[in-house]
Structure formats: structure tokens, C-alpha cells
Amino acid sequence: MKRDFLKLSDLSLGELNALFERTKELKALRKARKVVTTLQGRTLVLVFEKSSTRTRLSFEAAMAQLGGHAIVLPVADSQLSRGESVADTARVMSGYADAIMLRTFEDARLAEFARHASVPLINGLTDGGHPVQLLADLFTLIEKFGKLEGLKVAFVGDGSSNMGHSWVEAADLFRIDLRIASPEGYRPKGSVKAFSPQDAVKGVDVVATDVWTSMGQEKEKAARLAAFKGYIVDASLMSLAAPHAVVLHCLPAHRGEEITDDVLEGPKSVVWAEAENRMHVQKALLEKLILEGQSS
């Protein structure tokens, strides 16, 4: 039976921890220049309704390094752009591929695709969440701290964004002490306590941020810049975190807006390892979804 990965909680806590163990193995094998061919002969279709750098490259590289093949399909180049239904497209793709990744806007569109696809569907980003990015973020923290439970994490920025929502989900799953600093109108759904940036960051192990204006929100940029004034992750804010604290940013970064250049390039930044870990953790995810689905 196929398994989809639309949100972090589509996998159990035990499965997620096993996924991180496999990620560690795969990363070590890559560093040792060992060839892994677990997905030889398998095909992944990557469907993009939003532009991408890391998602596209990391999934393509992941499949290639596991012996498989990835086909990239921008929606503008597909019949979806000319009115073909999501249902018809999902059925056809399922006949060609062993898994599909969709990067889109509405979560309802992702859910519809999942209903009609007969192979695993992976959420490559929607308005409501970015679970593959969170897998990389969490694995990066395991590399740094050796654990997730009990870590103190401050997310400074747009808590109503896909990253904000995925951090809330991750905190519930892994018992992370999450503090979200967002202005009024940009806080995640539910009863999340409101923090100022300074209160959120005080004594934490991790400071995470993201762009203030995401894809599709360009017309809101002026209003968002005004709303988020004072929410920049700079050296002054970082001085309030624990001495061992690290900084996460899922990229791309708008340097000088949500984060300063000296912090992004500084000794507390694990951003570049975080970006590379997208590929390693997605290898483990692809193995799990494709191989387990085809052996059941």
C-alpha cells in the first residue's frame, strides 16, 4: 500500500527517528564516495508550480545518487496549464513513476493529487507546510546536539508561513520547546503564545528564521517589511541566545531583511549544512516510500 508524505506526522515518531538514522548512514556513504543503488530502475517525477532551487536540485541529486532517475515537469510545460484535471494528471503520472513530488500553493490541490495518485506523493512545499525542509532542519540539529527532545527553538518571522506551521508540528512530535516571535496577524493558527523576538530568543539553543515575503506574496512586500520591522536576526538578537546556539535558515535569504549577512555567514550558522542535508534526508525518505510501498 502506498504511503504519502504530505506532513511530518504522516510518519510515526519511530519511523522519523529511523529515517534520521538512515540519513546518517547515507550521508556517511556519500562522504566516503561509496555508491548506493537502492533505487536503481526507479523513477521520481518532480512537479513544480512554484520556482525552486534546493528542492529541485536535492531531489534530482538524491535520485541520481541512489541509482534512480528524476523527471522534472514545470506545470507551465504540462497540460495542467491548459486545463487538464489534477485527477487525470495524477493517474497518468502514476503509471510512469514510482513516486511523485509536488510543489504547489494550496494544500487542497496537494490533497486532491494524493487522492488520485496510486504511487507515493511527497509535499515539496505548499502554503500550509514544508515538511521535507523540516526533515533537513531536524537532522541538522541532531548532528549538532545529538537529540531533539527538550531543545529550545525560537522561530523569528512569519509564524503563519509554511515553515512556521511545520515547526509547530515538529515541536509537538519531538517535544521541542518552541517559541514563535511574529507580529500580530502573522502568528500560526491555534493557541501559540506570542513572544517578542528578544523574549523568544533568550537562552535558546536554536534560532530559526525565513523570508518575510514568500512566493505569491510579492504584492504584500511593503506591508510585510513594515510589520516585521524589529524582527531581524542580527548579532544583537543572537547575543541573547545560549552561547552554543545555532542559526537555521531554509533559504533563499534576503540578507539585510530577516537576517544579517554577518549572522548568516558567522560561526553560529549551520545554514549550509542544513541545505546539503535536504539531499541526504530525502534519500532516506525516497527509499522508505518507494521500497516499502513496492514490497508490501
Overall average pLDDT of the 36-54 stretch? 96
| CATH architecture of the region 132-275 | 3-Layer(aba) Sandwich (3.40)
Which one of 3.40.50.1370, 3.40.250.10, 3.90.76.10, 3.60.70.12 gives the CATH number of domain 8-130+278-295? 3.40.50.1370
How high is the pLDDT of residue 194? 86
The answer on pLDDT for 296 being more than 80 is: no
pTM of the model: 0.96
104 confidence band (pLDDT: 50, 70, 90)? very high
Query: What is the pLDDT, as a whole number, of residue 216?
Result: 76
Same fold, 8-130+278-295 and 132-275: yes
Sorted by where each begins, the domain ranges of the chain are: 8-130+278-295, 132-275
Contacts 24+ apart (CB under 8 A), 29-38: 30/65, 30/280, 35/67, 36/65, 36/66, 36/67, 36/283, 37/66, 37/67, 38/66, 38/67, 38/287, 38/291
- Chain segment 208-258, per-residue pLDDT in tens: 999 998 877 788 899 999 999 999 999 999 999 999 999 999 999 999 999
Q: Which residues are catalytic?
A: 103, 130, 133, 210, 250, 278
Specify the 3-state DSSP secondary structure of 32: coil
Closest to 287 in 3D by CA, of 32, 10, 3: 3
